[in-house]
Amino acid sequence: MTRVVADITVSLDGFVTGPNPGPGNGLGDGGMDLHRWVFSDDPEEQRLLHDGSARSGAVLLGRSLFDIVDGPQGWSDEIGYGAAEVGRPPFFVLTSAPPSSVRLSELDWTFVTTGLTDAVRAVRERAQEVSAERGHDVDAVLMGGGELIGSAVNAGLVDELILHLAPVLLGSGTPLFRGAPRRSLVQRDVLVTRNATHLTYEF
């Protein structure tokens, strides 16, 4: 079964970026500290990255995050989703209007302009197609940013939530949840590595 999985790194005080995020400063002031586990040479953390890429049948991101990763200082062959990994999935971007041009034109981009529900449906359907092509289940992954994931969780569009809890206090920045409705989750897994605690929940 194709699941919708939200996967994001968050600080101990609940922020997914530091203050002042934007092009050239994608994770905000001090935000790179969140992702020490991503750039670590720790074998367990590298395994988590590999497994995350392998399970990604299609990936959804918001427009602000797209503008950062497609910007001049964004993703490259060395840094980016799937870089040096098992492959690069198709990407969907939730936006009010498609960009006039795309720097990372070698990647498969689809721009969804009809709202969050349609975007999640599109990424799930594409992941189902990839599952059929590969002969095993892969996931529809929501990679962020925080507003997209928070809104999708609040709207009940997510099956599984994976949080990489970084031992960092940012003080301010982009919060993961704003005005979330009260609800209980089922904790499925906890893995402690050198640079983060990795938590998996189901709804």
Looking at residues 73-92, what average pLDDT do you find?
A: 71
- The Cβ of residue 142 has, within 10 Å, a number of other Cβ atoms equal to 30
Compute the distance between CA of residue 131 and CA of residue 58 in angstroms, rounded to an integer: 10
pLDDT digits (tens, 9 = 90+) for 165-194: 999 999 999 999 988 888 899 999 999 999
- State how far the Cα of 45 lies from the Cα of 55, in Å rounded to an integer: 16
Helices 116-134 and 146-154 cross at an angle (nearest 10°) of 90
Distance CA 176, CA 195 (A): 20
Please name each of the domains of the chain with its CATH number: 4-195 (3.40.430.10)
Q: Does position 82 have pLDDT exceeding 60, yes or no?
A: no
Q: Report which DSSP code applies to 191.
A: E
pLDDT at residue 76, as a whole number: 76
Quickly state the pLDDT bin for 86 (edges 50, 70, 90). Answer: very low
Percent residues over pLDDT 90 in the chain = 74
The answer, yes or no, to whether residue 138 has pLDDT greater than 80, is yes
Give the tens place of pLDDT for each residue, 43-58: 999 999 889 888 999 9
Band (81; pLDDT cuts 50, 70, 90): low
- Are β-strands 91-94 and 56-62 bridged in parallel, bridged antiparallel, or unpaired? parallel
